[in-house]
């Protein structure tokens, strides 16, 4: 899971910062595999695939395909957050945000969707915050290498697109960084409209993280590793609308009381 997540994350990130055209043209498919771009471009096949994937495996899109989800995981690991706690879902807030996004889009004001779509938000951060730094690094290497008559690198314009875009990108970056650093996947399970839609579908998914009550001693160790804050260890319950299938809980349980298995399978 981690390998697939990093593969998508690295390719998508480099897709945004690749000013030299090193990636093949076909890499634009990475954008079409994202939920909102596929929806806006009416890529029915991609949408059916993502819905089917969620119905079968749960929110693996959020854990492995969405770059914003992987970015939050990386930030939470850098923050070395060791213990999370279970919190009830903020259902009213989640659905209110989704309703506001849909209403604004239908009324011809797509700005809110653009701001909260995880792929667009991540792309904005990369293009306005990371890409200029990457290009400045390229220019620095060009200055060094050219001293030795090596012209592998060339100077490029590292200026930002606009002040407004930079400010929005920085604010988005700071907010998501803080939430991921302190609380894990709060953005995914509270603000993100894609997370709300796929969270609803994942409640009915075939494969789920399940708790074997015969093995579980209620220690709560699994809940301390759950970035989605969705494991209620006291009641042996998992909020599947928020579970992003990171499988950290499976690895940490020393009683092997958690399994990722079909809902119909007895444990």
Q: What is the pLDDT of residue 46?
A: 92
Q: What is the pLDDT of residue 266?
A: 56
Q: What is the pLDDT of residue 202?
A: 94
CA distance 194 to 62: 9
Q: Is residue 11 within 8 Å of residue 30, measured between CB atoms?
A: yes
Q: What is the pLDDT of residue 80?
A: 62
CA distance 130 to 160: 10
Q: What is the pLDDT of residue 264?
A: 62
Q: What is the pLDDT of residue 71?
A: 92
CA 60-75-2 angle, 5° bins:
35
Helix (H, G, I), strand (E, B) or coil at 215: coil
What's the CA dihedral at 98, 102, 104, 110 to 10 degrees? 100
Supply 200's token pair: 């609803």
C-alpha count within 13 angstroms, C-beta hemisphere, residue 114? 8
Q: What is the pLDDT of residue 15?
A: 87
The series of mean pLDDT values per 10 residues for the chain, 267 residues long, is 87 86 74 87 92 94 93 82 83 95 92 93 93 90 87 82 90 92 89 95 93 87 90 90 91 88 69
Q: What is the pLDDT of residue 19?
A: 81
Q: What is the pLDDT of residue 168?
A: 94
Look up the pTM and report it.
Answer: 0.87
Supply 124's token pair: 């904005």
Helix (H, G, I), strand (E, B) or coil at 184: coil
CA 189-180-197 angle, 5° bins:
20
């Amino acid at each position: 899971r981690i390998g697939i997540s990093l593969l998508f994350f690295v390719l998508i990130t480099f897709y945004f910062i690749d000013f030299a055209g090193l990636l093949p043209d076909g890499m634009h498919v990475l954008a079409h595999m994202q939920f909102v771009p596929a929806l806006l471009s009416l890529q029915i096949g991609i949408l059916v695939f993502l819905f089917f994937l969620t119905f079968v495996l749960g929110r693996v899109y959020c854990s492995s395909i969405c770059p914003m989800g992987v970015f939050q995981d990386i930030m939470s690991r850098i923050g070395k957050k060791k213990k999370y706690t279970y919190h009830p879902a903020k259902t009213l807030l989640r659905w209110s945000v989704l309703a506001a996004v849909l209403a604004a889009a239908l009324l011809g004001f797509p700005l809110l969707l653009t701001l909260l779509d995880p792929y667009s938000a991540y792309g904005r951060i990369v293009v306005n915050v990371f890409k200029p730094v990457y290009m400045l690094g390229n220019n620095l290497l060009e200055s060094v290498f050219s001293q030795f008559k090596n012209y592998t690198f060339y100077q490029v314009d590292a200026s930002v697109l606009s002040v407004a875009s930079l400010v929005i990108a920085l604010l988005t970056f700071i907010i998501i960084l803080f939430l991921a650093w302190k609380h894990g996947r709060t953005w995914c399970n509270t603000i993100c409209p894609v997370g709300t839609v796929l969270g609803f579908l994942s409640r009915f998914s075939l494969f789920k993280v399940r708790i074997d009550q015969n093995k579980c001693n209620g220690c709560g160790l699994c809940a301390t590793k759950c970035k989605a804050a969705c494991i209620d260890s006291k009641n042996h319950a998992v909020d599947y609308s928020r579970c992003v299938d990171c499988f950290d809980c499976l690895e940490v349980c020393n009683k092997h009381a958690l399994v990722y298995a079909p809902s119909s399978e007895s444990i």
